[in-house]
Amino acid sequence: MAGHWQKPDIIIGVDYFFKFIQFNKTHAMNSGFSLVNSIVGAMVAGSGYISKFRERDYKELFNSSDLIAYAGWSNKQSSNNTSNTNTENSNIQSENNEIVKPTKTTNPDIDRFWKLEIIGVQEDPNLHDDEHVLERLRESIKKVNDRYQVAWPWKETNFKLNDNLEQLQFNIIEKVSPEMDQVGIIHYLPHHEVVTPSKATTKIRIVYDASSHTRGMKSLNDVIHRGPITLPDLVGILLRFRMMKNVIVADIEKAYLQLELLPTERNCTRFLWLKDIRGQVTEDNVEHYRFQRVLFGVISSPFHLSATLNYHLKNHGSKLAREISKNLYVDNIKLSTKDTYEALANYKEMKTIFGDASMNIREFLSNDKEFNATIPKQDRAEEIQIKKILGIYWNPNPNVIQINAKPWKDDREPTKRTIFQFLASQYDSLGFLTPCILPIKLFLQSLWKKQIRWDQALKAYADAVYAKQEKKVSLIFAKSRIAPTKGTTVPRLELLAVLIGVRATQFVTRQMELEHSEVIV
């Protein structure tokens, strides 16, 4: 549907809302909005697709009410200038619970920036369907011939999926023959290739689009639960990674494809393939396939992989399996070892643990040169100076990590949008770039606060967590926040700084398992 920006003419209070709206007369529109009847006529409500604004401008991230959002906190003030102690304390607590997130964007850097901003200083959100999906996985998971079988976590049973065979109407392809297996839901997935010559392993990858759908129909991803996020905390893994003297990293080969689908769950993953790409699209030249394994691109696939690996490692029960579970992120493993002897023993046990689930562990790399030279060549990673570990760069020798800050491109015009894009492009999960990023945040805030002079100092608060070992002190984790644009008192900012400082300290202490160490705030 088409649309335009306009400020609201009137706001209806909740005391009149239920007298005003007629809930028994609603209609779902193809755009995602709902057509709702009221005592003054039909209205469009809810969230959905507006064609004119599909490519969202970054300025939409900040409107008149979002100026607070960029500061990171929702600022509540009392109606008069004097606030009692109870009010201040309650507001501090509520500000943590009301961190404002911007509207979802089409730019992955922007989305990643907001996710990183709240790590370690915000409580975990509750996911309503997670327990239900996990319970269904526990009930349906099977192990057949040393390989796990899982089922899609369908949202409901009464729905219809388009089979994506519109080309039948134009006689481009022929209809599936009646003899074909008709068990389960029939659905065809479009696909295309992605070529990445720089990759060491899979240089050409086929991507299947489970979100593809026609107007008025649902996609495969629309009718399947995403499932809970059962991954360990990424920052927690990186914090533990920094404490490892001798490190082993490895990954699971084609991890998603190592999980089988139950036979009744496979027909919704069909796709078409040409026998001869130079030939015509005819019945003789088209073959119909379906997946026997879990494929990347379906919304629940990450859940299936992480939940199945957790299930397998928990059932294995060994000390190493528990250690792997804490330091396994998707298909990447990081382990700490005392010496070469223990590293080789762990290597053999890891091959056994994952081999029991018909999975192959490969791409082993360590800062222990003797370990690298001893393991079989087919399991070794290529000898490279720098390896990317969960977004940061690691040099195995001399075992150091580095943060690569992206430079500003001189040919870009400095606008609010490009400045925010530049800020969001800095991947800094551990907060090492906080001293560099904070001035940019302050400058960006000043662009929205026009009544503030350009050279006027603005308020902010931050926390930094350091670890002391004998005589060495290292920066471990840091976060910053900008003061709310409506202004606040210095004592209040100090309390907020203490609040996020305590939370960040608790987060680091828990992730690095230092509960019995001395903590000074």
Query: 30 phi and psi, to 5 degrees?
Result: -60, -25
Which residues are CB-contacts of 485 (< 8 A; sequence separation ≥ 6)? Answer: 67, 68, 71, 75, 445, 448, 449
Question: What is the predicted pLDDT for the residue at 86?
Answer: 37
- Cβ(209)–Cβ(193) below 8 Å: no
Q: How far apart, in Å, are the Cα atoms of 200 and each of 381, 384, 440?
A: 9, 11, 36
Summary mean pLDDT of the chain = 74
- CA 73 to CA 90: how far, in whole Å? 14
Owner of token pair 């998603």:
256
The pLDDT assigned to 305 comes to 92
Tokens of 71: 């500061």
pLDDT-derived band at 139 (thresholds 50, 70, 90) equals confident
How confident is the model over 425-435, as pLDDT tens digits? 888 888 888 88
Q: In this structure, what DSSP letter does residue 332 have? A: E
Give the mean pLDDT of 323-332: 89
d(CA 438, CA 435): 6
Q: Beta-carbon neighbour count of residue 1 at 10 Å?
A: 13
Q: How confident is the model at residue 201 (pLDDT cuts 50, 70, 90)?
A: low
| Residue 393 and residue 386 in contact, taking contact as beta carbons nearer than 8 Å | yes
- Residue 1 DSSP one-character state: -
Q: What's the pLDDT score for residue 445? A: 78
Collect all residues with Cβ–Cβ distance below 8 Å to 14 and sequence separation of at least 6. none
Identify the pLDDT of residue 127: 52
Closest to 247 in 3D by CA, of 140, 395, 439, 39: 395
350: pLDDT confidence band, cut at 50, 70 and 90?
very high
pLDDT value of residue 25: 65
Query: Cα(417)–Cα(60) distance, rounded to whole angstroms?
Result: 10
Say if pTM beats, i.e. exceeds, 0.75.
no
Q: State how far the Cα of 363 lies from the Cα of 167, in Å rounded to an integer.
A: 43
pLDDT of residue 61: 34
Question: The tokens of 406 are what?
Answer: 């992206």
On whether the CB atoms of residues 343 and 232 are closer than 8 A, the answer is no
Distance of alpha carbon 367 from alpha carbon 399, whole angstroms: 6
Q: State the pLDDT confidence band at 351, using cuts at 50, 70 and 90.
A: very high
Find how far residue 34's CA is from the centre of its chain. Answer: 29
Share of the chain above pLDDT 90, in %: 10
Joined tokens for residue 174: 């022929």
Q: What is the largest CA-CA distance in the chain?
A: 82
DSSP 177: P
The answer to whether 496 and 88 have CB atoms below 8 angstroms apart is no
Q: What is the C-alpha separation between 380 and 369, in angstroms, rounded?
A: 12
- Over residues 277-303, the pLDDT tens digits come to 777 878 788 887 878 888 888 999 999
In whole angstroms, what is the distance from residue 87 CA to residue 77 CA? 9
User: pLDDT at residue 204 above 80?
Assistant: no
Of residues 424 and 452, more confidently modeled: 424
Q: pLDDT class for 89, splitting at 50, 70, 90?
A: very low
Residue at token pair 């905390």? 233
- In this predicted structure, the answer to whether residue 158 has a pLDDT above a threshold of 70 is no
The reported pLDDT for the residue numbered 75 is 33
207 vs 158, more confident: 207
Instruction: For 260-297, give the DSSP string.
Output: EEPGGG-GGGEEEEES-TTS-S-GGGEEEEE-SB--BT
Give the residue-averaged pLDDT of 81-92. Answer: 36
pLDDT at 53 over 60: no
Residue 199: exposed, middle, or buried by beta-carbon count in 10 A (0-12, 13-18, 19+)? exposed
Average the pLDDT over 160-177 and give the result: 43
Q: How confident is the model at residue 313 (pLDDT cuts 50, 70, 90)?
A: very high
| CA pair distance 299, 153, nearest whole angstrom | 10
Token pair 């490519």 in the structure block, residue: 55
Please, which pLDDT band fits residue 391 given cuts at 50, 70 and 90?
confident
CA distance 258 to 184: 22
Gap between the Cα atoms of 456 and 179, Å rounded: 76
Compute the average pLDDT of residues 265-281. 81
pLDDT of residue 126: 44
CA 110/CA 129 separation, integer angstroms: 26
pLDDT at 91 over 80: no
Q: Exposure string (b/e) for 290-321, b if CB count within 10 Å is 16 or more?
A: bbbbbbbbbbbbbbbbbbbbbbbbeebeeebb
- The three-state (H, E, C) secondary structure of 218-241, written as one string: ECCHHHECCCCCCCCCHHHHHHHH
CA 388 vs. chain centroid, Å, equals 18
159 versus 307: the higher-pLDDT residue is: 307
Q: Could you count the other beta carbons within 10 Å of the beta carbon of residue 131?
A: 10
Residue 411, beta-bridge partner list: none
C-alpha distances in Å from residue 127, one per residue of 95, 131, 158:
21, 8, 23
